[in-house]
Amino acid sequence: MKLPNHTQVLFAALLSAAVSTTADAQKLYKWVDAQGNISYQDSPPPENAKLLDEKQVGRTGGSEADAPANGDPIKVYTVANCALCAQSVLLMIKMGVPHVELPLNEDRAAQSLILEKTSSLIAPTIMIGETILQAPSDDELSEAITAAGYTVKE
């Protein structure tokens, strides 16, 4: 899916805000203001804005019992304004697999771990057990998730 650059940035920001590492669901609102600007917020729109959509969001992907034998959620190391990061997280949401999004920008320990295992810092870096993917295509990510034994939505 190729999006205009400003849409990619907005989409990445939306997913970063929407995908939570807790099991609690939140509401996400999409609304348009009087100037025609579309906003995505976790609070209701102001009275002078038109609500376009309202969704429950939060950590998705079933229970820990749906994970492979080790029970670990997939770790997704992301950076801000990364369209491929957002695309990977969205795919995992659609597949219904347990995952946790971890910011890479300021986490020196995560950076060191990734450099130790891969010799390069690329976002997203996705750890599925011992398997490490960097900037995978949707097909590569889907195959790795299935190969790891996760139960996925059809």
Position 140 scores a pLDDT of 97
Same-domain check for residues 143 and 68: yes
- Look at residue 153 and tell me if it is in a domain: no
Q: Say yes or no: 100 and 33 in one domain.
A: no
Among 23-37, 56-70, 109-123, name the one with the lowest average pLDDT. 56-70
Domains: count for the chain: 2
Residue 51 has pLDDT above 80, yes or no: yes
Q: Give the pLDDT confidence score for residue 49 in this predicted structure.
A: 86
Q: State whether 97 and 140 are in the same domain.
A: yes
Q: Which residue has the higher pLDDT, 56 or 35?
A: 35
Q: Which domain holds residue 117?
A: 64-147
Is the pLDDT reported for residue 67 higher than 60? no
Residue 125, class by beta-carbon neighbours within 10 Å (0-12 exposed, 13-18 middle, 19+ buried)?
buried
Based on the domain organization, do 87 and 28 belong to the same domain? Answer: no
Assigned domain for 105 exists: yes
Mean pLDDT for the chain?
Answer: 77
Which residue, 20, 42, 57, sits at the end of a domain?
57
Using DSSP bridges, classify how beta strands 50-57 and 125-128 pair: parallel, antiparallel or unpaired: unpaired
Considering the domain architecture, whether residues 75 and 133 belong to the same structural domain is answered as: yes
